[in-house]
């Protein structure tokens, strides 16, 4: 195949920007419709510079803003040890079995149960009526956790005790090895 003689290079065709093809103006409309020509990109760069500058000024904290004084009597710190036990707390202490560690987290659940009952007893004094449904659910869940299992484990037995779990983690003690 013979080589072609070197002639004048063909002129490169002018690629029309997308905003011209779609019939939009250069800038906002062109860039938003996918044009990336110099005019449209310059418009977007200016838009982003303005946006960042506006965001920086908005993030600066306001100077010398005075807060209104808090009304007396509404803001109070409440400690659970200062609350007086009511009917729920007293009944719970009488009916709650002694925590013997037979179930996992029995002591912890018992302590949480006593505190929840104390909050339930004093919800009106704390002026926190919104806590009542939450504390009622928490008390019922804690009572279910403290309830002994009704049926045995399908694998046999009633489940591991705290001592079984500790022994499984640490291994048998020296007292148990010498049979």
Structure confidence at residue 46 as a pLDDT band (50, 70, 90): very high
Structure confidence at residue 5 as a pLDDT band (50, 70, 90): low
Instruction: Name the range with the highest mean pLDDT among 43-47, 58-62, 147-151.
Output: 43-47
Structure confidence at residue 89 as a pLDDT band (50, 70, 90): confident
Task: Calculate the average pLDDT of the chain.
Answer: 75
pTM over 0.85: no
Mean pLDDT in residue range 79-102: 74
With beta carbons less than 8 A apart as the criterion, state whether 39 and 27 touch: yes
pLDDT of amino acid 179: 46
pLDDT of amino acid 65: 65
Calculate helix-pair angle for 87-95, 106-121, nearest 10 degrees.
160
Give the whole-angstrom CA distance, residue 142 versus residue 95: 14
Mean pLDDT in residue range 114-133: 81
With beta carbons less than 8 A apart as the criterion, state whether 80 and 115 touch: yes
Give the whole-angstrom CA distance, residue 29 versus residue 35: 9
């Amino acid at each position: 195949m013979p080589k072609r003689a070197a002639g004048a290079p063909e002129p490169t065709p002018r690629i029309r920007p997308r905003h011209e093809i779609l019939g939009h103006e250069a800038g906002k409309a062109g860039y938003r419709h996918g044009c990336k020509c110099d005019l449209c990109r310059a418009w977007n760069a200016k838009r982003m510079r303005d946006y960042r500058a506006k965001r920086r000024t908005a993030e600066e904290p306001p100077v010398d803003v005075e807060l209104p004084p808090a009304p007396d009597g509404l803001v109070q710190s409440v400690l659970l040890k200062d609350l007086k036990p009511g009917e729920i707390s007293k009944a719970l202490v009488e009916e709650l079995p002694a925590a013997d560690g037979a179930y996992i987290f029995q002591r912890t659940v018992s302590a949480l149960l006593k505190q929840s009952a104390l909050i339930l007893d004093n919800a009106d004094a704390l002026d926190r009526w919104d806590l009542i449904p939450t504390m009622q659910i928490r008390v019922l869940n804690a009572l279910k956790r403290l309830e002994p299992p009704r049926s045995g484990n399908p694998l046999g037995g009633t489940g591991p005790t705290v001592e079984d779990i500790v022994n499984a983690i640490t291994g048998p003690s020296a007292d148990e090895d010498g049979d």
